[in-house]
Amino acid sequence: MKARAIFACIFVVCAGLLGVAYYMEHVMGLEPCPLCWLQRFGFMGVGLVSFVAALHGPGQFGVRVYGLLLVATAGAGLGTAGRQLWLQSLPADQVPACGPSVEYMLDVLPLAEVLTTALRGTGDCAEVVWRFLGLSIPGWTAVFFALLVLTGFVMLFHHGKAKDRIAD
């Protein structure tokens, strides 16, 4: 499969996942916590990298650069999802206190403090409000981020090598 098509598929998957997130928020009424917002930004970053890569149609070196960017953005998202899964696994007496909404924090706090607070997570982040096949929302985002990291590594290290062998 050509790199351009792979990056286009990744963009479509990220757009679909963001669509599901907005559906869950606006139709199902699930309020996203600060870590959920950061995971959305992770999918936006992966989607943006993939969109640019699909438009660019890079050569072998460019595929590796975009693969590295994919690993970095999806890896950051995976770390954020892992943090939320860890918070969800804590006993009730160790869960941090609930904090203000992201909108409120953005209105009254400097951006650096909003990011620090969001990365720490709040009691809202530890609450499991939805499950599908036994996984919570951050569980599913972790699965997708892990698949995206693996895809990025394939693009970084293996994409195009089969073509090189055939040309010899």
**Do residues 84 and 95 lie in contact, with contact meaning Cβ atoms separated by under 8 Å?**
no
Strands 135-136 and 131-132: antiparallel
Note the pLDDT of residue 143.
94
Is 167 a residue whose pLDDT tops 60?
no
C-alpha closest to that of 145 among 71, 37, 64? 71
Task: Considering only residues 129 and 118, tell me which one the structure prediction assigns the higher pLDDT.
Answer: 129
**Using one digit for the tens of pLDDT, what is the confidence trace for 68-127?**
999 999 999 999 998 888 887 777 777 666 667 777 777 777 777 777 776 677 666 767
The residues facing 135 across adjacent strands are: 132
Is 46 a residue whose pLDDT tops 50?
yes
C-alpha radius of gyration, the chain, whole number: 18
Note the pLDDT of residue 68.
95
**DSSP SS3 for 68:** helix
